[in-house]
Amino acid sequence: MRPGDKVPSVCTCMKCGVPLEFGDHSRCKNLVEVVACPEHREEERLRMEEFERRAAEFGLDERWSRMKALPDGPEKHALAQEIAKWLSGDGDRRRP
């Protein structure tokens, strides 16, 4: 399930946007979207909602935008570390 979606979607090639079941994706650099199976869709939906809530509390979108706009330097590096720490630690509880 994609962030923000309430229903599962078709597996899609992240490079060209075409459903994986159609076309040759050998030139698409193996970027594959994995969608939860029917048995785990509700669990994944709940995890995504929890992640989105935590991301909003942390201000992930705002911090990410600010980081991308900064020139290379110590401030950008510090903000990138802060985001990475949040994603790999307590903030991202999608992982078991």
Quote the radius of gyration of the chain (alpha carbons, Å).
Answer: 16
- pTM value is 0.57
Tokens 């490079």 belong to which residue?
15
CA distances from 21 to 4, 24, 32, 45 (A): 24, 9, 12, 23
The average pLDDT across 57-85 equals 94
pLDDT band at 30 (very low <50, low <70, confident <90, very high): low
Tokens 């199976």 belong to which residue?
37
DSSP character at residue 46: H
pLDDT tens figures, 72-85 = 999 999 999 999 99
pLDDT for res 27: 75
pLDDT for res 94: 46
Name residues whose C-beta falls within 8 Å of residue 58's C-beta, 6 or more positions apart in sequence: 86, 91
